[in-house]
Every structure is written in structure tokens, then in C-alpha cells.
């Protein structure tokens, strides 16, 4: 460890005294003990030094030409950026009134001249220890506040999950059990063979729907918990894999997918692929009747981020629903018209935010929709 680093670790101290001998003695003593030391011979220079490079602690004389120590301390305590710097007064004034005034203007300690070096060192270290503990406490409080916010958010999601599990999942289950009971009641009838398909088909359809619902719920819940380290990812490779994964829906819809050259970004490979797949699949699924779906993927570079753009020519979204579509289970269409679970865009939002970006939508109803999301450079 070099001496500069050690001094920064010990603390930076400003000594303010109009007597050069006092400055020299304290400066040499504190420097020898590993402190970074600044000196000022009057109050005006002291205030300038503090504004230029705020110290961790100030040793301040009272009787000085121009601004005295009381005035300097009062000025420091009146400024937001210097009010927390501890001030130890060093003075030959030994009257109780002087000491009380020193504490009243904001001093944290008072040492009477002539002083003992060991006493000064002990009081300096004591105040710096207090400051370090206060900073640690402040950092821990901030961390605790963030953890409380995260916990509140998790609890909110858990409550929403519980509601969905008790409400939306019950509907397909009721259909399944209802038709199953009806099928069992007819097992001894001759017409069972003719009507079996009529009853079994809804069972299979609702069972598949419920499986998709549970699968997407699990994907949504895992976005924030499966934290892989972000690595440089070529988005062109991810896009090629994504289009390969959904080639059946592309062929079935005869969709036209075009894209520009995409950048390399730091991301979670699996989640980035899921993000692109959800947005492109939406552009294919929510197409206008009789119109071949067209989806364009591009990216624009900004000073601090990449903006990805997924544009389609589908049915569009009314502006009233722009925020709602990113919430879990907020469907705008019936399952019969457009099959799905209403979780896809919520997953997209969670993935983007986990990467430090944001996602939003622009759309013209009946014309098409454009999704934007950002990833930091």
C-alpha cells in the first residue's frame, strides 16, 4: 500500500491556525501518522480550501485576524455541502463561555492550548471513527431502504400472483372438471362414442391453455431471480436464433420479417432472445385480417444507450392501453380472437428493466404498432 493511498484511508485533515509553528508541528505530527494534511493561515483561506477539497475533519483556531474560528465554523455549518464536516477547536481561550460558544456554533470537540500531541491524535481519531461509523450507517440505511422497496415490490407481485392463481386458473380448471364429470356420467351410454369428441376437445384445449398460463407465470417469476452475468452479445446472432425458433408461425402467417444490422450489447443471452421473440411474435399474431404481417427490427445508437425498434403493421393499440399492456394478465382481446396468456409483454418489461433499460410503445389503431426498448452501451 503506497503512502498516498494510506493517507486517503486514514483521513484528510485541514489545520487552520495563524501561527506557523503550530501549523508545522501539527502538520508534521499528523502526516507522520498517515493523515493527508492541508493548512490554512486564516479563516478566508480555510473556507476556500474547504470548498476546493472538503476535508474529513478540521482543526480550527479561534483567535485569528479577519474571520475568527467561530465565524468560520458558523459559515461551514450554514452550507449544505460542508455542514457535516466535524470541527475540533484548538484555542488558548480556556473560559467556559468560550467553550460553550464553540459547541453552540457547531464544534464537536475543544482542545485547549498548549496542547499535548497525543491528546490531539486521540481526539482526531475519535472523531474520524465516528464519521466512518456514521457513513457506514448511512450506507446501510440506504441499502435497507432499497431492500424494503424490493420486498414491497415482491410482495405486490406475490399478491397479484395469488389472485391470478385463485381466479384465472380456476376458470380452465372448472371447464376441465365439468366436462370430465359429464363424460364420466355418460360412460355407460351407447352414444358415448359419438359425443366423446365434443367433450374431450374442450378438455384438451383448456388443459393446454392452463399449461401455457403456468409456463408463462414461471418465466415471469424467474426473470428477476435467474441472474446470469451480462456478457457481450451479438444481437444479429440472437435474432437469427429467434427467427429459427418461430419459423413455423412465420411460414403459417406468410409474415415478412426484415431487419437492419444490429449492435453488440451486454446482456443475458437467453433473456434477450426471449425479449425479441415475444415482441416479434406479437407483431405476427396481432395482424389485421387479410393483411400479410410485416415486422421490421432495427436499432439506433444514442450517447448512452441503444434504442431497439420493433415495428409491425398489425391491428394497433389504442393509446388508453399503452401502460396497461405491460402489466401481468392485462389482455385487450379474447382468447378466441387472439390466443395467449397476457404475460408476454410483462416479461419483456421485466427483462428490459433488469438490464437497466426501459420499454415503451407507440401505436396507431388499425395501422400498426412500434415497440421501443433501450439497452445501455
Share of the chain above pLDDT 70, in %: 79
Query: Domain limits of the chain?
Result: 12-115, 146-225, 229-376
Return the pLDDT at 73: 96
Return the pLDDT at 154: 77
Higher-pLDDT residue of 176, 348: 348
Chain mean position to CA 366: 35
69: closest CA among 28, 31, 34, 22? Answer: 22
| pLDDT single digits (tens) 200-232 | 677 766 676 666 666 666 666 666 555 567 899
Higher-pLDDT residue of 158, 259: 259
- The mean predicted confidence, pLDDT, of the chain is 84
CA distance 267 to 55: 40
Helix (H, G, I), strand (E, B) or coil at 229: coil
- pTM for this model (two decimals): 0.48
Helix (H, G, I), strand (E, B) or coil at 273: helix
Asked if the peptide bond before residue 215 counts as cis, ω within 30 degrees of 0, the response is no
Chain mean position to CA 167: 31
Chain mean position to CA 146: 10
Lowest-pLDDT range of 102-106, 221-225, 266-270: 221-225
- pLDDT band, very low/low/confident/very high, at 334 (cuts 50, 70, 90): very low
Return the pLDDT at 344: 81
Query: Is the confidence at residue 326, as pLDDT, over 70?
Result: yes
CA distance 28 to 25: 5
Return the pLDDT at 177: 75
Q: What is the DSSP letter of 79?
A: S
- pLDDT band, very low/low/confident/very high, at 152 (cuts 50, 70, 90): confident
Chain mean position to CA 56: 30
Q: Which fold has domain 146-225?
A: Helix Hairpins (1.10.287)
Mean pLDDT of 326-347: 61
Lowest-pLDDT range of 152-156, 166-170, 246-250, 261-265: 166-170
Q: What is the DSSP letter of 15?
A: E
Task: Write the burial class of residue 137 (CB in 10 Å: 0-12 exposed, 13-18 middle, 19+ buried).
Answer: exposed
CA distance 375 to 222: 20
CATH among 3.40.50.300, 3.90.79.10, 3.30.565.10, 3.40.50.720 for 229-376: 3.30.565.10
Lowest-pLDDT range of 7-16, 176-185, 189-198: 189-198
Query: Is the confidence at residue 164, as pLDDT, over 90?
Result: no
Higher-pLDDT residue of 233, 215: 233
Higher-pLDDT residue of 127, 218: 127
| Contact partners, residue 66, CB within 8 Å, separation at least 6 | 42, 43, 44
| pLDDT single digits (tens) 247-262 | 999 999 999 999 999 9
Instruction: Give helix 269-285 / helix 235-245 axis angle, nearest 10°.
Output: 50
CA distance 312 to 295: 4
Return the pLDDT at 368: 95
Size of the chain, expressed as the number of residues it contains: 377
Lowest-pLDDT range of 23-27, 48-52, 149-153, 278-282: 149-153
Query: Is the confidence at residue 242, as pLDDT, over 70?
Result: yes
Task: Please state the CATH superfamily assignment of the domain spanning residues 12-115 in this structure.
Answer: Response regulator (3.40.50.2300)
Chain mean position to CA 134: 25
Mean pLDDT of 39-63: 93
Question: What are 129's three cell numbers?
Answer: 471513527
β-bridge partners, 40: 16
Amino acid at each position: 500500500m503506497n503512502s498516498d493511498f494510506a493517507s486517503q484511508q486514514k483521513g484528510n485533515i485541514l489545520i487552520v491556525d495563524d501561527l506557523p509553528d503550530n501549523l508545522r508541528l501539527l502538520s508534521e505530527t499528523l502526516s507522520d501518522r498517515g493523515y493527508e494534511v492541508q493548512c490554512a493561515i486564516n479563516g478566508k483561506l480555510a473556507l476556500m480550501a474547504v470548498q476546493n477539497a472538503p476535508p474529513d475533519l478540521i482543526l480550527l483556531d479561534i483567535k485569528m485576524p479577519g474571520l475568527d474560528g467561530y465565524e468560520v465554523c458558523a459559515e461551514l455549518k450554514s452550507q449544505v455541502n460542508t455542514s457535516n464536516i466535524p470541527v475540533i477547536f484548538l484555542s488558548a481561550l480556556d473560559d467556559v463561555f468560550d467553550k460553550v460558544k464553540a459547541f453552540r456554533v457547531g464544534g464537536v470537540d475543544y482542545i485547549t492550548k498548549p496542547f499535548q500531541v497525543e491528546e490531539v491524535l486521540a481526539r482526531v481519531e475519535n472523531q474520524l471513527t465516528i464519521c466512518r461509523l456514521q457513513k457506514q450507517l448511512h450506507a446501510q440505511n440506504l441499502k435497507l431502504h432499497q431492500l424494503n422497496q424490493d420486498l414491497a415490490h415482491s410482495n405486490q407481485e406475490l399478491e397479484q400472483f395469488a389472485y391470478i392463481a385463485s381466479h384465472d386458473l380456476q376458470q380452465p380448471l372448472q371447464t376441465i372438471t365439468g366436462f370430465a364429470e359429464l363424460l364420466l356420467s355418460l360412460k355407460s351410454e351407447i352414444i358415448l362414442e359419438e359425443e366423446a369428441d365434443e367433450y374431450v376437445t374442450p378438455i384438451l384445449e383448456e388443459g393446454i391453455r392452463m399449461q401455457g398460463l403456468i409456463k408463462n407465470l414461471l418465466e415471469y417469476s424467474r426473470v428477476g431471480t435467474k441472474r446470469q452475468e451480462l456478457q457481450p452479445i451479438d444481437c444479429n446472432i440472437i435474432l437469427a436464433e429467434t427467427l429459427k425458433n418461430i419459423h413455423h408461425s412465420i411460414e403459417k402467417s406468410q409474415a415478412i420479417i426484415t431487419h437492419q444490422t444490429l449492435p453488440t450489447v451486454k446482456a443475458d443471452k437467453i433473456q434477450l432472445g426471449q425479449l425479441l421473440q415475444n415482441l416479434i411474435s406479437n407483431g405476427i399474431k396481432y395482424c389485421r385480417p387479410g393483411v400479410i404481417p410485416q415486422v421490421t427490427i432495427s436499432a439506433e445508437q444514442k450517447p448512452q444507450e441503444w434504442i431497439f425498434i420493433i415495428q409491425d403493421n398489425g391491428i394497433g393499440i389504442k393509446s388508453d392501453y399503452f401502460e396497461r399492456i405491460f402489466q401481468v394478465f392485462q389482455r385487450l382481446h379474447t382468447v378466441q380472437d387472439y390466443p395467449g396468456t397476457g404475460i408476454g409483454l410483462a416479461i419483456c418489461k421485466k427483462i428490459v428493466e433488469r438490464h437497466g433499460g426501459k420499454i415503451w410503445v407507440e401505436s396507431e389503431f388499425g395501422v400498426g404498432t412500434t415497440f421501443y426498448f433501450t439497452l445501455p452501451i
